Amino acid sequence: MARKKPGKAGYGKLLDAWTPPDHAGDPIGCVATSFTFSPVFFEEECLSRFLRLQTDATEDGAAYLIEREEKLAQVRCAVALVDQHHCRGIRSLRWDLVPIRLHGSILHAKVSLLCWSRLVRVIVASANITEDGYRRNLEVFGVLDYRPGSTAPLGVLRELVSFLRELLDYAHTGDATDAPALRRCESLLAGVLEAAKDWGNEEGNPSTDQVRVQAVFSGPKRRSVLATLSESWPVDSPPHRARIVSPFFDPPDALNRPAQEIWKVLKMRGEATVCYHVTAEEIAGEKAILLHAPRSLAEAEPTGRSGVATKFFRVVTEAHRPLHAKGIWLEGKGWACYTIGSSNFTTRGLGLVEKANFEANLAYWIRVRDSKADREVYRALRAGFIPYQDIDPELETRWQPRTDIADDEADADCITLPAAFDQAVFDVDECGCGFVILTFAATPPSGWTLCPDEEEEVFLDEATWQAQGAKLTTRVSWPGHRPPSGFTVRWHNSGGAAWWPVVVARAEVLPPPAELRDLPLEVLIDVLTSARPLHQAMQGWLRRQKDKEGGMARVELDPHRRVDTSAFLLQRTRRVSWALRALRERLSRPVPTAECLQWRLWGPVGAKALAKALLREKRSDQEKAFLLTELALELSRVQPRREPGCLEPETVKQEVRRLIEELQHEVRATSLQGLPDLQAYIDEAFREALA
């Protein structure tokens, strides 16, 4: 467990948790939840670390786009589940943006489930996926790693997957029979449970384990956070002390249920103390201090009972780093528990009402004994608690809760997408022409219009929709090359615009970036025979293309390189042979996901792309047929290597065989009249390749 300040016990950088260790293996997929959200930050900071990109979005231009395309195209799923009030923004359609559409409450949990082929990581935090959340605010987060031989609690992982599945139930407003984003997410969640089923321990023995970790989720139809902690207290004697960290509380004029309920968690007899750790500021020119909290916290203290006390402490934080962390520390006879996560000390945040927010927390339980080991664990846990200091008792206490909107309340001015707009899915037909399938759960509000992304041009409006039959499932042709990442939605008296995210039906329907489209054969050969990553192998090509666009021609000074040997038959055949062998070796490597296999076979630098490049070359039909046949033979010799967590070799071979059959069709389309020996060789070669 750590917070964001390097070089000090208990502190760390939340973005570092998205970076896999060396042993983690290939990226498989990730699911992240957030209340407020920045798609740019998620894409360029979080996903870039998860994928271990070497390029930078702001500095590397085309190289970044190529590397991002390559890495994202090979993961099973990357999805952000975001509360509907903040689910908007232009993004790459290589990852899914899914609104969670609750009524009367919000998605406030901040959890991230990151899966690599040899590691599953769970992050539970107080921070939203925004620049402020990860780099400015004072936040708190916990990390659990599941890998072969780890002792992480499997119960937490199973509960998290169940929690995420519950959220998916609120992703659509209608009865959509096919929701591609949800299907991909569910596939990843099932894969995580299968891969990690032996990567951890079942619930430990609370009498012997030094640290026990528990998931504490709350939300509609779930138990409250305080009820869960009270029921989980491991001994009969309840805790005698509670420490609360929260930037937000219930309104000053409301009954403060959390302040009352925390006293029910503590022991009913003898001494008991509730400590509130809040931000504060001294009032200039007066002997007074302003606490950013409501007076009702102090007024909730039980009356007619001796030995109880309510104390306030001042959180120590830098002026430019607002407090956003949330935590509850309980301590009693022989035990201590520190709960961190998304729950503010509010009625909705703790789940004390029927329409509670969805929240996610981790509770760390430790034994408090006299042994040296236990004292060290206790000190380590306390190091993760927000730093604080005593308040001068000579100062007069005044109360002023934070006036900004609490981060667990929906902004009343925020325009959300009406329930009638269910899902928008981009797909392509057999000819490669794009279209969008719009699913309506009911008749939309009158006067509605859809504009792609943030443009002003109308893509579809109510009048056109009605003229086409007002179907609840409508297919509309998409005129552009690149699909939209969402639609700006307006209607009569909307007072603004809502956002309708678009997802893709399948990853392969997305066109590659212009830099990867219809690459020449020589470039593909360079890529396939290079040991460098794709974006590095293409640097020379990208540089030459940039020079052409700028009207510059690079002069080659090496006299040997100035001779173009690409038209020499022997040289050309030899280079293609090198590429075929390199392709076979690439396809023999373990395949972590079906999407990765799709990229290697059918992607813009895959086997099918090489075949298309051969056909585009100015060669005779006979030479094209011969080279395609050689490609088929090399593919038939692929021997996929087996590795835990990767596709079975037989699955890979089946897809390779499908491509060989396509190549056979291409060869049959070429003219081999008058060349019986070549025809006989090709027929025999394909019989061998498909045997």
Per residue in 101-124, pLDDT tens? 999 999 999 999 999 999 999 999
Q: Is the pTM of this model over 0.95?
A: no
Q: What is the CATH number of the domain that holds 370?
A: 3.30.870
Residue 301: half-sphere exposure toward Cβ, Cα within 13 Å: 18
Question: H or E element: which one contains 579?
Answer: helix 569-588
Say what the alpha-carbon torsion angle 407, 410, 413, 416 is, to the nearest 10 degrees.
130
Contact (Cβ atoms closer than 8 angstroms) between residue 482 and residue 495: no
Residue 524 CA to residue 541 CA, distance in Å, equals: 10
79 three-class SS: strand
pLDDT for residue 568: 43
pLDDT band at 174 (very low <50, low <70, confident <90, very high): confident
Q: Can you tell me the mean pLDDT for 386-403?
A: 91
266 three-class SS: coil
Nearest to 50 by CA among 74, 66, 34: 74
Residue range of the domain that includes 604: 518-689
pLDDT for residue 570: 52
pLDDT for residue 494: 92
Q: Mean of the per-residue pLDDT values for the chain?
A: 91
**Do residue 487 and residue 528 come from a single domain?**
no
Contact (Cβ atoms closer than 8 angstroms) between residue 488 and residue 497: yes
- Answer with the one of 195, 219, 242 that is the final residue of a domain: 195
Q: What is the DSSP string of 90-126?
A: ---TTSEEEEE--SSS-B---EEEEEETTEEEEEEES
For the cut 90, the answer to whether the pLDDT of residue 556 exceeds it is no
**Do residue 529 and residue 617 come from a single domain?**
yes
**Do residue 651 and residue 533 come from a single domain?**
yes
For the cut 50, the answer to whether the pLDDT of residue 6 exceeds it is no
Q: In what order do the strands lie in the sheet with 473-477?
A: 460-461, 449-452, 486-490, 498-504, 421-428, 434-440, 473-477
pLDDT band at 405 (very low <50, low <70, confident <90, very high): low
655 versus 11: the higher-pLDDT residue is 655
**Do residue 56 and residue 87 come from a single domain?**
yes
**Do residue 188 and residue 236 come from a single domain?**
no
For the cut 90, the answer to whether the pLDDT of residue 404 exceeds it is no
Whether 411 is covered by a domain: the verdict is no
Residue 176 CA to residue 200 CA, distance in Å, equals: 36
For the cut 50, the answer to whether the pLDDT of residue 317 exceeds it is yes
Whether 128 is covered by a domain: the verdict is yes
The gap between the terminal CA atoms of the chain, to the nearest Å, is 56
pLDDT band at 408 (very low <50, low <70, confident <90, very high): low
Nearest to 157 by CA among 211, 188, 196: 196
pLDDT tens, position by position, 281-312: 999 889 999 999 999 999 999 988 889 999 99
**Do residue 327 and residue 376 come from a single domain?**
yes
**Do residue 311 and residue 447 come from a single domain?**
no
343 versus 411: the higher-pLDDT residue is 343
Q: What is the CATH number of the domain that holds 179?
A: 3.30.870.10
> Looking at 49-53, 378-382, 460-464, 490-494, which range is the least confident one?
378-382
- Answer with the one of 477, 509, 541 that is the final residue of a domain: 509
Whether 204 is covered by a domain: the verdict is no
pLDDT for residue 555: 47
**Do residue 178 and residue 224 come from a single domain?**
no
For the cut 80, the answer to whether the pLDDT of residue 8 exceeds it is no
**Do residue 359 and residue 312 come from a single domain?**
yes
pLDDT band at 24 (very low <50, low <70, confident <90, very high): very high
DSSP 630: H
pLDDT for residue 253: 85
Q: What is the DSSP string of 427-438?
A: EE-TTS-EEEEE
pLDDT for residue 220: 94
Whether 300 is covered by a domain: the verdict is yes
Total count of domains within the chain: 4
pLDDT tens, position by position, 424-459: 999 999 888 999 999 999 999 999 999 999 888 999
Residue with tokens 């939309």: 444
For the cut 50, the answer to whether the pLDDT of residue 3 exceeds it is no
Q: What is the DSSP string of 174-230?
A: S--S--HHHHHHHHHHHHHHHHTTTSSBSS--TTT-SEEEEEEEE-TTS--HHHHHH
**Do residue 238 and residue 367 come from a single domain?**
yes
pLDDT for residue 623: 87
Nearest to 85 by CA among 37, 125, 33, 137: 37
Whether 202 is covered by a domain: the verdict is no
Whether 412 is covered by a domain: the verdict is no
**Do residue 395 and residue 426 come from a single domain?**
no
Residue 545 CA to residue 564 CA, distance in Å, equals: 18
Residue 611 CA to residue 616 CA, distance in Å, equals: 9
For the cut 60, the answer to whether the pLDDT of residue 560 exceeds it is no
pLDDT for residue 390: 95
Residue 278 CA to residue 397 CA, distance in Å, equals: 13
Contact (Cβ atoms closer than 8 angstroms) between residue 48 and residue 64: no
For the cut 60, the answer to whether the pLDDT of residue 567 exceeds it is no
**Do residue 378 and residue 428 come from a single domain?**
no
pLDDT for residue 571: 58
> Looking at 118-127, 373-382, 604-613, which range is the least confident one?
373-382
Strands 308-315, 280-282: parallel, antiparallel or unpaired by DSSP?
unpaired
For the cut 70, the answer to whether the pLDDT of residue 315 exceeds it is yes
pLDDT band at 481 (very low <50, low <70, confident <90, very high): confident
For the cut 50, the answer to whether the pLDDT of residue 553 exceeds it is no
- Answer with the one of 478, 509, 540 that is the final residue of a domain: 509
Instruction: Copy the structure tokens of residue 505.
Output: 């039906």
Residue with tokens 């908007």: 88
Q: In what order do the strands lie in the sheet with 96-100?
A: 96-100, 77-83, 27-34, 111-116, 119-125, 141-146
Q: What is the CA radius of gyration of the chain?
A: 30
> Looking at 398-412, 443-457, 582-596, which range is the least confident one?
398-412
| Sequence-ordered list of residues with C-beta below 8 angstroms from that of 299, at least 6 positions apart, any chain | 256, 259
> Looking at 80-84, 512-516, 541-545, 558-562, which range is the least confident one?
558-562
Q: Residues 518, 523, 528, CA angle at the centre, nearest 5°?
A: 105
Whether 408 is covered by a domain: the verdict is no
| Sequence-ordered list of residues with C-beta below 8 angstroms from that of 433, at least 6 positions apart, any chain | 477
Residue 178 CB neighbour total at 10 angstroms? 11
Nearest to 108 by CA among 415, 407, 419, 412: 407
Whether 64 is covered by a domain: the verdict is yes
* H helical segments located in 395-538: 462-467, 521-529, 534-537
Q: What is the CATH number of the domain that holds 438?
A: 2.60.40
Nearest to 171 by CA among 417, 379, 354, 403: 417
